[in-house]
Structure 1
Amino acid sequence: MPRLEPGQPAPAWNLPTADGGRLSLSDLAGRKVVVYVYPAAMTPGCTTQACDFRDNEAVFAQHGYAVVGVSPDPVEKLATFVEKESLTFPLVSDEGKEMLTAYGAYGEKQNYGRTVVGVIRSTFVLDEEGKVEVAKYNVRAKGHVASLAKQLGISL
């Protein structure tokens, strides 16, 4: 399974958002972007991670980063997640898993000692030109935002 590496251009995408619109990577051109991939909205780990990004989004924004969450959930489920958790950044739906696959965030993974196929919790930091600065795979939901901020030189 191909994985993104720093310096590579991030694959383009254009996906539906929780608020009924669409968002594409080109819409974010000129901005640094944190794209985080999570398996399923409203599950414990994914909720922890989303709320961590929500609670620290302003700090990331002060350092020039936009935050976008991506999952294969349908838009309706994402809309419920946004409302229930008061999320303040866009969530996009990749039900067909094309973007997830292109980013290496969908495929074989270990789950409780078994090999399964599914979403690989991952985070990508893209520069203003859409090039990959950071590609992290198999991240843990808890503590990930603090770890990422530290790697980017951001104090939370």
Structure 2
Amino acid sequence: MLETGIQAPEFTLPDQNGEMHSLKEYRGKKVILYFYPRDNTPGCTKQACGYSERYPQFEEKGAVVLGISKDSIASHKRFEEKQGLTFTILSDTELEAIKAYDVWKEKKNYGKVSMGVVRTTYLIDEEGVIIRANDKVKAAEDPEKMLEIL
């Protein structure tokens, strides 16, 4: 996990519609950048739906929400359509942002060790500086917690 007070690493990634997004295009707004393991899994769905339901409140506070996983554009599109998501989810199949934000870690699941995305949420200010970094995020609570922090 990256420290607060540093410049957030730049990235350019495609969204669920194949359109490219870079972090610098969001200067002047707060950015909630959250990394999640996989589309259409129970925890990730709760987290995404929580952000989607509260998206108007984030917008009122001058913030955008960007979700990132290593799933493909096609997977993201299915996830967006199935869940009715109202925000941008970015596909990082090459692990560009995932590694830059230090969320690609060794994970243990039922005694099996593998590499994967550790659920992490960053709050980036209008100047592109990380002002909050949360790891060990509880998927269902994350959207409400981030709204309170704003």
TM-score range (shorter-chain normalised) is over 0.9
The corresponding residue for 2:57 is 59
Partner of 2:42: 44
Aligned to 2:134: 136
> Corresponding residue for 2:124?
126
Q: 2:95 aligns with which of 94, 97, 105?
A: 97
- SS in structure 2 at match of 1:39: coil
- 1:79 corresponds in structure 2 to 77
SS of 2:68 mapped into structure 1: strand
Match of residue 6 from structure 2: 8
Deviation at 1:118, TM superposition (A): 0.5
Using the TM superposition, give the Cα deviation of residue 142 of structure 1 relative to its aligned residue in structure 2, in angstroms. 1.4
What are the Cα deviations for residues 48-80 of structure 1, in whole angstroms up to 9, with x where unaligned? 100000000111110111001100000000011
SS in 2 for 1:109: strand
Structure 1 residue 145, shift from structure 2 partner: 1.3
User: SS of the counterpart of 1:9?
Assistant: coil
Identity of aligned residues (%): 39
- What CA deviation, in whole Å up to 9, does each residue of 1:1-39 have, x standing for no partner? xx3111100000000110121100011111110011110
- SS of the counterpart of 1:7? coil
C-alpha RMSD over aligned residues: 1.3
> What is the rounded CA distance, in whole Å, between the counterparts of 1:142 and 1:113 in structure 2?
25
For structure 1, which runs of at least 5 residues remain unmatched after alignment? none
| TM-score where L is the length of structure 2 | 0.94
